[in-house]
Structure 1
Amino acid sequence: MPLVVRDPVHAGPTDPTVIRHRATGEWWMYYTQRRAGLDCSGAEWVHGTDIGIAVSADEGRTWGHRGIAEGLEHRPGRMTYWAPEVLADGAGGYHMYVTCLAGVRSSWVGDAQVRHYASADLLRWEFRSVLDLGSDRVIDAAVHPLPGGAGWRMWFKDERDDSHLHTAHSRDLYTWTRTAPAATDQSQEGPTVFRPAGVYWMVTDNWKGLSVYRSADLDTWTREPYQLLAEEPEGHHAMALEQGDAAAVLWYFTADEDDPAGRRSVVRATRLEVQGGRLTCAPETPVAPLAAGLTPAWRGGTAG
């Protein structure tokens, strides 16, 4: 059966990201812990959210709830945390870039920032900075290393610019400078960037499935004339974990089949491959075990 990961506390996991714990070999999944069962009439159930953690000790075959990321709180009262991006550095540490909104809101509108945290063990996090990304409404950070050791690039959604995707650059994962727009052809969110088959790919959430872009240099992106996971229940806000030179595993959230018209969601995984120059996936096909030797070092693996 295809893999399904649930949140046993609030039944609303979204925005997953996966990394290997270098000390234990476990695979850790971070996700927005939406409160699907909250009694409310507005958007309160998608606010006041923690960052949930699920862990797999068997190469991603099964997952168990591990609690929430500790140390993100930075003021009294309930805060909102969305869309974690987690990666490993070359010095034995980990970094999280997470969207933060103040309080619990009844609508989706309002200021948002990306905050940077660091950790030595993936569980306890320490605040480093609020990123200056040139806007007071930025969400959904995704990071990928630049070729040749030139640093790191971040993609994020700027809601002040019609929800277009923009970029920032860093040489050390601490100081970020906003750079050029990445994709302004449509409104979208939740980017993820990866590189199978020698080509850079970016998958984004257009709210009706996943758009696909490709690039030769991480600078110029072309949208492909097809989508992924566009049939109901659609896939949303995905993260691609590279598994060697020719494939990746795409983690995404979708409606819970037991609650298709409601708030409950689940995280699923599908194998991505490039076939005939086209990015393909088969959501009903079981995903092979995750392999440390095929996972890039910046995702906690031993490849590259």
Structure 2
Amino acid sequence: MKKTFLYIILLLNAVTVSAQNREAVPAPLFSDPNYYGSCDPEIIYNPADKYYYIYYTSRRATIENLFTATPVGVIKSKDLMNWKFVGYCKFDGIGGTKDMPATFWAPAIIADKNELHMFVTWKPDTTTAKGPWGGPAKIVHYKTALNNPVNGWIKVADMHDSTYNSLDATVYKKNDTVHVWFKGKKAGEKKNELFHVVSTDMKNWKASGFSKSDVFNEAATGQPFEEAPYIFQWKNKYYMLTDPHKGLMVYESSDSENWKYQGIILKDSGTRKLDNSRARHCSVIVKDNRAFIFYHVEPWRDYDSGIGIPKQPISNRRAVLQMAELKIKAGKISCNRNEAIKIN
């Protein structure tokens, strides 16, 4: 009898551990199945099929030309834990493969009515003739029906003319107005600005000035470089996260216009599998008042040497996607990337 009771206890414990493992978000969350260069994740909920989608820059990390001719990869999930690769985006019916006839980076996406709208960094260059990152880029607006989230992308318009060199858009809706911010500079200028444009119809865009307060302000933050702005709303405040390549910089705002610098998160290496380097270019989804952050990590990259990634060995260039949960402590955003994430 005692042996039977002990067997039952051990069996129950095994089932409990197995269930707990199934409930925990895996690390890494995903790695691109072709070139293993999953970067710049943008998460969006699609109300048509009730899936979460992550659109990401698919760097060609295992070949020399890793930054250009890159597609936008897509994965989807019902529960934020189990993700399935569903392919690469087609734009105007072109592409859908691991090598593109143009370069696409860092998609920013919003669902509006029956459509998805993407604001993506685009450049015609597919070689390194103008440098490892190719030539100048622009932000281009595409849209697709909610029920065709991978292959249906059709160009709407360029967001600016060729006098600007830009990258890394972010988009959100406030009341009836859509806001797009992106990093860029005019031809011949050295300083990058954070541009802000708004629209009520997704067709006519109005310039709304540059970033105010602490964003892109070295005097306020002590950081001379940042990119990849991402804006989201949580707990009655707006937050902006940017990427200085030294973790993620955090700003808060009550009006999504005037930003106050909070500090840096996710700089120190984590202990989860392949989460052992600083977090890069991110996005956030708020679910049941919990905020989950998605970011890419380059686990093999040597940051300490000061050598740029294009000059490091190809074996150093692979990237994976990771997920963590944000918390608010003492009025500021924090993130313990080592905590197991469980989603009910």
2:280 matches 1:236:
yes
Give the TM-score, by structure 2 length: 0.75
2:94 matches 1:67:
no
Cα drift, residue 134 of structure 1? 8.2
Alpha-carbon RMSD across the aligned residues, in angstroms, is 2.1
How far apart, in 2, do the equivalents of 1:128 and 1:175 lie?
Answer: 11
Cα drift, residue 207 of structure 1? 1.2
| Residues 1:194 and 1:241: Cα distance change in structure 2 (over 3 Å) | same
Deviations 1:171-223 (A, max 9, x none): 12222222221123043111111121211110000111111111111111111
Aligned to 2:72: 51
How far apart, in 1, do the equivalents of 2:44 and 2:126 lie?
Answer: 29
Aligned to 1:274: 328
The DSSP-based 3-state class of the residue aligned with 2:164 is coil
How far apart, in 2, do the equivalents of 1:159 and 1:105 lie?
Answer: 22
2:122 matches 1:122:
no
| Residues 1:289 and 1:135: Cα distance change in structure 2 (over 3 Å) | farther
Indicate if the aligned counterparts of 1:19 and 1:86 stay in contact, CA closer than 8 A. yes
How far apart, in 2, do the equivalents of 1:227 and 1:239 lie?
Answer: 15
Cα drift, residue 145 of structure 1? 1.3
Indicate if the aligned counterparts of 1:249 and 1:287 stay in contact, CA closer than 8 A. no
Aligned to 2:116: 94
The DSSP-based 3-state class of the residue aligned with 2:167 is strand
The DSSP-based 3-state class of the residue aligned with 2:66 is helix
1:155 to 155, 175, 181: 181
2:6 matches 1:9:
no
| Residues 1:131 and 1:26: Cα distance change in structure 2 (over 3 Å) | same
Percent identical residues: 25
2:294 matches 1:251:
yes
2:43 matches 1:18:
yes
The DSSP-based 3-state class of the residue aligned with 2:91 is coil
Segments of 4+ in structure 1 off by > 6 A? none
Give the TM-score, by structure 1 length: 0.84
The DSSP-based 3-state class of the residue aligned with 1:46 is coil
How far apart, in 1, do the equivalents of 2:340 and 2:149 lie?
Answer: 27
Deviations 1:41-70 (A, max 9, x none): xxx31111000111223x111212111011
Indicate if the aligned counterparts of 1:133 and 1:177 stay in contact, CA closer than 8 A. no
Deviations 1:79-128 (A, max 9, x none): 10000111110x21111111101122422363111111111121221111
Aligned to 1:141: 169
Task: Give the letter for the 1:173 counterpart.
Answer: M
Aligned to 1:196: 234
2:108 matches 1:85:
yes
Aligned to 1:210: 248
How far apart, in 2, do the equivalents of 1:171 and 1:33 lie?
Answer: 31
Indicate if the aligned counterparts of 1:99 and 1:113 stay in contact, CA closer than 8 A. yes
2:192 matches 1:169:
no
Aligned to 1:298: none
How far apart, in 1, do the equivalents of 2:193 and 2:77 lie?
Answer: 34
Indicate if the aligned counterparts of 2:68 and 2:134 stay in contact, CA closer than 8 A. no
Aligned to 2:216: 184
- Uncovered stretches (5+) of structure 1, i.e. residues with no partner: 291-304
| Residues 1:11 and 1:216: Cα distance change in structure 2 (over 3 Å) | same
Aligned length: 277
Task: Give the letter for the 2:330 counterpart.
Answer: G
- Uncovered stretches (5+) of structure 2, i.e. residues with no partner: 1-25, 219-224, 270-276, 303-315
2:136 matches 1:103:
no
Normalized per residue, which structure has more helix?
2
How far apart, in 1, do the equivalents of 2:288 and 2:134 lie?
Answer: 40
